[in-house]
Structure 1
């Protein structure tokens, strides 16, 4: 079973901490278990917001984890504790995949893990992160950045996006989508999506595209155009584009392409259909077109993606999760 360790000290943001515990530590009905063995590691009793937390282990246990999560850091004007920085650095050097949520990026940057890499954090603190750590390429306009063994996310809802992204890498789209449904959040928002979205998590029936989006998802095998979507939504193409930007943070065609790629991932993971058949089922037309878009979006060709997930399924056929260390997933991460 893969192990996930939360690195905590005084001053952690309780929302991001609780979010990570829910994704990696809870066992909701309908989600294949066991998925992860979660532990909270800290120097002793710590304060997270208004809550007092008793860690399971000391920070010296971080290097033994497959994945280390660093929740948000409340007061970025104060330097993170040296013991936390050293423990996170040691975990990465030992081969752990390290991910920060929100301002947890300041801890990763202080540990030197972001030097020479792209990273993000909450938009309100991206300038401070860039000024304090000039060797880091800070991107203020994305939800999360995946560098393989080091990942960073923007704030709040984007932290959930990154956690589900990790689950998807470890266990595939089906498990991640099932978990997302239990949590009542969107199953996937691409890391490159803008942080500034008017309605980042649209409630069903509470936005102008509430009926259009599921209608389109059910017709991904068809060559849908912007005009088709606008006609179905009974609005002009220009008005449709404005609503798409407000609700999804992207354009109608880019949103459609993302849905087609996600559907292709599910079919590659769960069926023996040929790439040609999957290309037709996802509206890509030809295997060549699917391979081009899939490789550009996911980072590997469809055949390699299938082999990786099928191999992982066979390895974990006893019902246990397969450890998701950095080496095991480097080939599936898109370099942003």
Structure 2
């Protein structure tokens, strides 16, 4: 009688440390890729991958949205893991991880265990000195926050994640899923990584060099005040701030801000803001099927006709014309006949 087969060895073991008020989406995207890669279909058994949430007290940890996650393993019972993933919390929470968790992190780093910083987890690793000498990735949304806290550092804010030896850092959001897929491909296999993303309705795995979805202007700002103003504009596209509000928040007068923009970008703050909103609208017209009205509202325009007038004046095309030029069509448009489509594909 044949001996019962032993379960396959775990190919990827990951432990999470969750900061108080951690970012739930980054954690959920990362762990869901592991879950789906660990078993057949979406049965969720930890066969090929294993994941735990560590804590010294096992008290539930609250996320930034209020949902709480229950840790399952005490720090003193922690096993050997392939990666320790730190999921950060709200900016400014200097005590996001307690002393026991920080001590554990330092010991793991000394033992050569790779550390992962998700979202603002990068801030925690940087503050602890665990990213000294490493390149690190920060969301464009928190780029200035990072510079404000770590003046001597230069983060990478135009990639979704960065792998530098035994430090892996990620901008958060859907980038966490792509970083997890990168690790799954490395340890389990490409098919498992693709399967996970497909079930999560993510079309393709992205490498770390893939650009973050933040917007850029044709000219790159050099003036630090102008760069900070542009970042605030990017963070407030749906409900644009007035130039007066931006200047007040940055601690300067409106005339000073306008003068610095003209000297650095050769355009006014108002024009730069409009360009950013139009670029976001063009991006959504290219990559989504959202209506022109919804895109207009999401990009700070009053309605669809307002967006159409601005786009025609600044870019020379209407949203409908732009979509047709990209091979996309508005709902209700007359589609080309099948024969025409087939001939154009030949």
Q: TM-score, normalised by structure 2?
A: 0.53
What CA deviation, in whole Å up to 9, does each residue of 1:61-82 have, x standing for no partner?
5573221111232243534334
Equivalent of residue 48 in structure 2, options 14, 20, 35: 35
Matched, 1:151 2:161: no
- After the TM superposition, which residues 158-177 of structure 1 pair with which residues of structure 2 at under 5 Å, given as runs? 158-177=175-194
Task: Specify whether residues 73 and 9 from structure 1 end up closer, same or farther in structure 2 by C-alpha distance, changes over 3 A only.
Answer: closer
Task: Select between 149-158 and 181-190 the one with higher mean Cα deviation.
Answer: 181-190
CA apart distance, 1:128 = 2.0
- Residues 42 and 58 of structure 1 are in contact (CA less than 8 Å); yes or no, is this contact kept in structure 2? yes
Q: Distance in 2 between matches of 1:60 and 1:137?
A: 35
Cα shift at 1:144: 0.6
Q: Does the aligned pair in 1 maintain the 2:35–2:46 contact within 8 Å?
A: no
Provide the residue aligned with 1:25 in structure 2: 35
CA RMSD of aligned residues (A): 3.2
Relative to 1, partners in 2 of residues 1:243 and 1:72: Cα closer, same or farther, differing over 3 Å? Answer: farther
Quote how far apart the aligned CAs of 1:151 are: 0.5
Indicate if the aligned counterparts of 1:62 and 1:91 stay in contact, CA closer than 8 A.
no
Q: Does 1:59 align with 2:75?
A: yes
Q: CA 1:128–1:59 in 2, change beyond 3 Å: closer, same or farther?
A: farther
4+ residue segments displaced more than 6 Å: none
Between 1 and 2, higher relative CO (CA 8 Å, sep ≥ 6) is seen in: 1
Q: Deviations over 1:219-250 (max 9, x none)?
A: xxxxxxxxxxxxxxxxxxxx89x969xxxxxx
**Structure 2 unaligned regions, length at least 5:** 1-9, 215-282, 292-321, 328-346
Partner of 1:125: 142
CA–CA separation in structure 1 for the residues paired with 2:172 and 2:52? 22
Q: Greater Rg, structure 1 or structure 2? A: 2
The whole-number CA distance in structure 1 between the counterparts of 2:182 and 2:74 is 27
Question: Scaled by the length of structure 1, what TM-score is found?
Answer: 0.55
Q: Which residues of structure 1 form unaligned runs of 5+?
A: 208-238, 245-336
Please give the per-residue CA displacement for 1:292-321, whole angstroms capped at 9, x wherever unaligned: xxxxxxxxxxxxxxxxxxxxxxxxxxxxxx
The CA distance in 2 between the partners of 1:144 and 1:62, in whole Å, is 27
Give the aligned length. 211
Cα distance, 1:40 vs. partner? 0.7
Answer yes or no: is the 8 Å Cα contact 2:33–2:193 preserved in 1. no
